[in-house]
Amino acid sequence: MPKIKAIHHVAVVVDDVEKALTFWRDALGIELHELRDVPAEHAQVAFLPIAGAEIELVRPTTEDSGLAKYLAKRGPGMHHICLEVDDLQGLLTQLKEKNVRLINEEPRVAADGKQYAFIHPEATGGALVELYQI
């Protein structure tokens, strides 16, 4: 049976990464591991590791991505929770059997080779949930 292994990251959508870093990095003292553009996600992302998990500050770099629309509609704030799973394909099959509404019915593959899929907030109690297999 597929198993949820960890909270991998929590993503916060922001309109200004440098400004957000004055809090997360400078005031809280969390190390900034990396700040980079992720063209596939139309976003600039700051990665701030905390004990095996991560806070990700995400700023949309185009105006028509889902992320940009979310920011325009809801304002800056928490965007999604990402859970690490040992068998993404198996878990998606299990979720489909239970009629859980998915955004991605099959695993997608990121540029770095990680497999991921998003679950619709309607199914989770309102939170956007990402599943990751590393």
Q: If you compute the radius of gyration of the chain from its CA atoms, what whole number of angstroms results?
A: 15
Residue closer to a copy of itself, measured from CB, 4 or 40: 4
The strand pair at 4-13 and 53-60 is best described as parallel
Residue closer to a copy of itself, measured from CB, 75 or 113: 75
Considering the complex, what minimum distance in angstroms separates the CB of residue 91 from a copy of itself?
A: 8
What residue ranges in 1-134 does DSSP mark as E strands? Answer: 4-13, 34-38, 43-50, 53-60, 77-85, 108-109, 115-119, 129-133
Residue closer to a copy of itself, measured from CB, 42 or 58: 58
Count the neighbouring beta carbons within 10 Å of the beta carbon of residue 101.
12
Give residues in contact with a copy of itself (CB under 8 A). 1-7, 10, 12-14, 16, 19-20, 22-24, 26-30, 50-51, 53, 55, 57, 74-81, 83, 91, 94-95, 98, 100, 121, 123-128
Considering the complex, what minimum distance in angstroms separates the CB of residue 103 from a copy of itself?
A: 14
